[in-house]
Amino acid sequence: MWFYDVFLSLDVKGILLFMFSFLLIADFIRNRTPANFPPGPKALPFVGNILSLDTKYPHVYFSKLADIYGNVFSFRLGRQPVVIVSGHKMVKEAIVAQAENFVDRPFNAISDRFYTEPSGGIFLSNGEIWKKQRRFALSTLRTFGLGKNTLELSICEEIRHLQEEIESEKGKPFSPAGLFNNAVSNIICQLVMGKRFDYSDHEFQTMLECMSEGLMLEGNIWGQLYDAFPQVMKYLPGPHNKIFSNYNAVKDMLLEEIQKHKKDLDPSNPRDYIDTFLIEMENHKDSLGFTEGNLAFCAFDLFIAGTETTATTLLWALLYLTKYPEVQEKVQAEIDRVIGQSRQPSMADRQNLPYTDAVIHEIQRMGNIVPLNALRVAAKDTTLGGYFIPKGTSVMPMLTSVLFDKSEWETPDTFNPGHFLDSNGKFVKREAFLPFSAGKRVCLGEGLAKMELFLFFVGLLQKFTFSEGNGQASPHPLSFGLSRPQNETSPNGSKQFGLQEGSSGLTFLPSKKSQLTSGLTFKHVTTETISPCTN
């Protein structure tokens, strides 16, 4: 009663001070950490550490924190404590040795708003639904060519279309980013929808543009703010709202495609992933995520995962080839010796192209396309690096720290294809090469991505030589990682090369025997994205 009387006696300032003090105490109580919890930077009330986060290069910022606090440390994103795991040894401990404990995804505000189906598609679902949907997707993709010669033929046909598009520019500066997105996306479209799109198809281009912009917004400060403070951000205007309008536009296009499939579905002769899913729906009667709504979300996940990372890796391949022309020459010499100019490449050539294979792997390592793996959540109390991780704690494996681990790589900060070659020039696998993550949530599209990267890379270098328009290496630094704006730092914090929008660009020769010369301008070498290929 006395408390009520005191409260009534307060003026407006006193009431506000009381409410602030109450919220401050509540925040402190809510965010108390247990004994032996991983250390980390001091967090502010309500907002946590988000104000100190480098939103353009979070992986660089987290790498610096790992130097201070060790390979297992904590960080507060808004009100959510997250444990960051760094270094090859500790990342493998979390996602492989303790795979069962760190297999599920935690709550994510953006995904919760977009994935209106409780099943959550493929990549963000959990439990039996996730296991069933992942197995079904892998099995279905294999049925329609994944890992088979039929898919190789489809990729080689797409390479031919890509080569023709490049040749048609006839010397005019252009952006290869759109072409790479078109070519790579057409492969997953054939598996999921049973068809490829012409590069000038308006609906196809709209779908790709919505996807790319949505991923960019989700990976930048607006997406991070929405994840940290969804209760506030969902009522505020801003670019974050376009994440959902873009994603819903892609989903609506996929729903239209599903309706087309339903009209001429032949249960005895499925044509693609959508057909097979529709047939499976009859067997499961809306159980284990086999609903029409969830089909759209599963197709969305496959479309995202099957396009963005591979297309972006090909862009970085061109940049590294122009930075190191001696590497490009050596790759082309090996291709000429093994394949020649009279036929297209095949996966059977890979074992005979060790240097080319090593260059592709080093591009993936240095390109560091997905530096921060998607969040996991601890299913039970456990320990990592000697620290206590309570049940329900979100954990983020930092793949950058594995690809640049000084204890695993001879020259981690240098582009060096020798990382993947033995003393005899034979290709060697490296345990710390984890661009697709590892464990139970290893990228579902790893096999497809490897096939596409090899065939597209070899197909391009078999026909074209890439160089700067002025013959000089670009002086502009370039960053890699979750976001890739120009003129910044690489994952390890050092300056790297790159091209600015509107720069003089690159020049290519369609083949070493041809006289045709064209200009190639990278207008958009920035890609801001979270982990599209995290399963």
Binding-site positions for heme: 443
- Cα 21–Cα 23–Cα 25 angle in degrees, nearest 5: 70
Q: Which residues pair with 476 in a beta bridge?
A: 498
Annotated binding site: 443
Helices and strands, counts by H and E, the chain: 19, 11
- Residues 403/419, Cβ–Cβ less than 8 Å: no
**Residue 64: which of 493, 467, 476 has the closest Cα?**
493
Contact 223, 56 (CB under 8 A): no
DSSP H/E element including 518: strand 518-520
> Which one-letter DSSP state was computed for residue 73?
E
CB 67 within 8 A of CB 78: no
CB 74 within 8 A of CB 82: yes
Residue 489 in contact with residue 477, Cβ under 8 Å? yes
Give 308-376 as a DSSP string. Answer: HHHHHHHHHHHHHHHH-HHHHHHHHHHHHHHT-SSS---GGGGGG-HHHHHHHHHHHHHH-S--BPPPE
**112: its two tokens:** 């919760």
383: helix, strand or coil: strand
Residue 50 backbone class (left: φ over 0; alpha: ψ -120 to 50; beta: rest): alpha
